[in-house]
Amino acid sequence: MNDVNAGFSAERMVFQEWVANQIAPHVAEGEWQALLDQVDRLRADSQPHRLARVFTAIPRNLKSVDKDLRITLAEADKRTGQLPLVVTDWPLVRLIRVWVLMNIPALEETAYVSLIERLFKYGEMEELAALYAALPVYDFPSAWRLRCTEGIRSNMAPVRQAIMVNNHYPSQFLDEGAWNQLVLKAFFTDEDIPHIIGLKQRNNARLAEALVDYAYELHAAKRTINPMLWILVAPFVDERAYRLMEQIILKSQQLHERKAIAYAFQMSSYRPATDFMTGNSELTDLLDTADTPWVGWPEQTN
């Protein structure tokens, strides 16, 4: 048999082993050993049916794993090579599945992509969440753009969240249209907006325009507007945005909504907005960002 580690960079090996070490303490020794054996075989021979069987059967085979156990790995994003992985409050089984996917040996692009696409095609809800959470660790990163866009359309919240929140892939690889759909959909579905990676870096005028339209729609329907919306609109405040924002900051009973608009006015280069803040000095208190979702936004780099 060839060296089963062939095709993995040294950094990747170190990272894989590190992830394995985080998983091992939560799995009974015998079950863990059996999984390691399976993964070794997978590294040597990644036949589609072998991968599918290992990947699908993880919860079936690891009976010792506490199904409710959620795991957060502070160091996971320090990975070198490809994109960092952010493991925040994942079911352990998801992490194990992503780790298994990291062990697929080097293949040529078509074979590699079709191997993983097959798992997507037959995936149940948790499998799909793991497959999308693994976008940053797949080989041939640019090959997953359409897949990522497709996943954002999912109606299954855990699947959608695995892409939208704490995932480095979308902001690095989606074009502007697809990125804007991700952000808009995240607002529509009340996702954890501040944890969308790349929110600041990928912010753009077209997105801001669509967000303002959405804010008008919500306002007309008397529904709540997520204050993070105004943070994204801030650099692009124009006459139309300003009209609604002014109304809300004067009338809203919700502190965060008013704070977000004050902050956006302050950050804006639109003259009436900055004038509004200087003319209403009693609103200065609203600029305190402590306990708001956008605390630290000016320093944020992605």
Partner 1 sequence: MCNYNERDRASMGQRVALELDLVKGFRFFDPHIHMVSRTTDDYQAMADAGVVAVIEPAFWVGQPRTGIDTFRDYYSSLIGWERFRASQFGIKHFCTIGLNSREANNEALAEEVMELLPFFIYKEGVVGVGEIGFDDQTAAEEKYYRLQLELAKEAGLPVQVHTPHRDKTKGTSRSMDIALEHGLDPGMVIIDHNTEETVKEVLDKGFWAAFTIYPFTKMGNERMVEIVKQYGPERILVNSAADWGISDPLAVPKTAALMVKSGLPKATIEQVCYQNAVAAFSQSGQLDEAMLNEKTSIDQGKKFAGNSVLRGGQQPRRDADSIIIS
Where does the chain have alpha helices with state H?
10-23, 29-44, 48-56, 58-61, 92-102, 109-121, 125-133, 145-152, 157-164, 169-173, 176-188, 205-220, 228-233, 239-251, 255-267, 271-279
Q: Determine the interface stretch with partner 1 among 22-30, 103-111, 181-189, 193-201 (rule: CB under 8 A).
A: 181-189
Q: 4 vs 218, which CB is nearer to partner 1?
A: 218
- Tokens (6 digits) for 72: 């957060």
For residue 221, count CB atoms less than 10 angstroms from its CB and return exposed for 0-12, middle for 13-18, buried for 19 or more. Answer: exposed
- Tokens (6 digits) for 174: 């989606």
Are 95 and 71 in contact, with CB atoms under 8 Å apart? yes
Q: How far is the CB of 11 from partner 1 (least distance, A)?
A: 32
Q: 39 vs 186, which CB is nearer to partner 1?
A: 186
Q: 66 vs 275, which CB is nearer to partner 1?
A: 66
For partner 1, the binding residues in 82-121 under the rule CB under 8 A are 121
Residue type, 81: G
Q: Determine the interface stretch with partner 1 among 26-34, 52-60, 240-248, 283-291 (rule: CB under 8 A).
A: 52-60
List the one residue from 21, 142, 155, 281 that touches partner 1 (CB under 8 A).
155
List the one residue from 149, 161, 203, 292 that touches partner 1 (CB under 8 A).
161
- Tokens (6 digits) for 20: 């394995």
* Residue 69 engages partner 1 in binding (rule: CB under 8 A): no
Q: Determine the interface stretch with partner 1 among 58-66, 73-81, 109-117, 143-151 (rule: CB under 8 A).
A: 58-66
Question: Could you give the C-alpha distances from 87 to 14, 48, 203, in angstroms and in order?
Answer: 17, 26, 24
Instruction: Show the binding pattern over residues 118-147: x = contacts partner 1 (CB under 8 A), - = does not.
Output: ---xxxxxxxx-------------------
Q: Which residues, in sequence order, are CB contacts of 175 under 8 Å at separation 6+?
A: 145
Q: Which residues, in sequence order, are CB contacts of 290 under 8 Å at separation 6+?
A: none
Q: How far is the CB of 267 from partner 1 (least distance, A)?
A: 26
List the one residue from 34, 41, 50, 56 that touches partner 1 (CB under 8 A).
56
Give bridge partners of residue 73 from the DSSP assignment. Answer: 87
List the one residue from 112, 144, 187, 276 that touches partner 1 (CB under 8 A).
187
List the one residue from 17, 68, 175, 291 that touches partner 1 (CB under 8 A).
68
* Residue 59 engages partner 1 in binding (rule: CB under 8 A): yes
DSSP one-letter string for 180-217: HHHHHHHHHTT--GGGSTTTTTT--HHHHHHHHHHHHH
Residue type, 19: V
**What is the C-alpha to C-alpha distance for residues 55 and 123, in angstroms, rounded to an integer?**
10
**What is the C-alpha to C-alpha distance for residues 190 and 6, in angstroms, rounded to an integer?**
44
List the one residue from 11, 40, 190, 213 that touches partner 1 (CB under 8 A).
190
- Tokens (6 digits) for 59: 């919860």
* Residue 254 engages partner 1 in binding (rule: CB under 8 A): no
Q: 35 vs 273, which CB is nearer to partner 1?
A: 35
Q: How far is the CB of 58 from partner 1 (least distance, A)?
A: 9
How many positions of this chain bind partner 1 (CB under 8 A)? 31
Q: How far is the CB of 44 from partner 1 (least distance, A)?
A: 22
Binding site for partner 1 (CB under 8 A): 52-53, 56-57, 59-60, 63, 67-68, 121-128, 155-158, 160-161, 185, 187-191, 223-224
